[in-house]
Amino acid sequence: MLELTLPSLDFAQWAVVLFALVLVGFAKTGISGAGTVAIALFALVLPTKSSTGMLLPLLLVGDVVAVVTYRRHADWPRLLKLFPWVAVGVVVGAFVVRWVDDAQMRRIIGTILLVIIALHFWNRSRGSELAEHRAVAASAGVFAGFTTMTANAAGPIMAVYFLAAGLPMLGFLGTTAWFFLTINAFKVPFSVALGLITPATLTFAAVTAPAVVAGGVVGRVIVKRINRTWFERMTLALTFLAAIRLMF
């Protein structure tokens, strides 16, 4: 018999989960760094691997909302260059999930995020177009694929990469929206094969999806009032805090 019950959580835990899912939607249409905070909150309530499977269908809900909102603003040439490298990272991540424990995975991801942030500031200080180098794009793609497969935590990597590329705010949001809709859909078969997505996780997603949609609506309203400098600072600050949280 299929197990379709919801996870056993108390009132406080459900409050954390629903708030995290509102942040997921908000991150898709507003401040992208909020998504990593949401992942960290989710991991406080559920084990990392379990939370990965529960969160993926809900991330796809947010991706659809974001694509509907910003579908005309994607940088497709940049995306097409990234996709093959991301696919490599997803495959590697799928193998790693089988033998790395939660604590090791969090430290690996946190370290990668800090390195990416450092590269962003190094790029700005040199005044160069670091994001245009093939090696940097390949590395960002592989790291993003790896972290999205293992912990749904590729948001900060791609946020820093797209910021370094100098995309305008709407271009950033549109490119990010299409990127994650495509990659999260690509991850689904791997997640099913690994037992991360089950009938129970789909039941959980169906019940809690409205929280993601609500967050997406809020993000769409707020982003119109945000200037690029504040947007960039908030994204980097939330990414840094999430990286520290993942490591410790």
> What are 110-126's pLDDT values in tens digits?
777 777 677 667 766 65
pTM of the model: 0.81
For the chain, first and last CA: distance in Å?
39
Q: What span, in angstroms and rounded, lies between the C-alpha atoms of 198 and 203?
A: 9
The H helix count followed by the E strand count for the chain is 10, 0
Given a cut of 50, whether residue 2 has pLDDT beyond it is no
For helices 34-45 and 48-70, what crossing angle results, to 10°? Answer: 150
* Burial (CB count <10 Å: 0-12, 13-18, 19+), residue 169: middle
- Tens of pLDDT, residues 84-106: 999 999 999 888 877 777 777 77
- What region does 5 belong to: left with phi over 0, alpha with psi -120 to 50, or beta? beta
Q: What percent of the chain has pLDDT over 70?
A: 86
135 versus 65: the higher-pLDDT residue is 65
Q: What span, in angstroms and rounded, lies between the C-alpha atoms of 24 and 33?
A: 10
| CA nearest to 34, candidates 23, 20, 45 | 23
- Tens of pLDDT, residues 170-208: 888 899 999 999 999 999 999 898 888 888 888 888 889
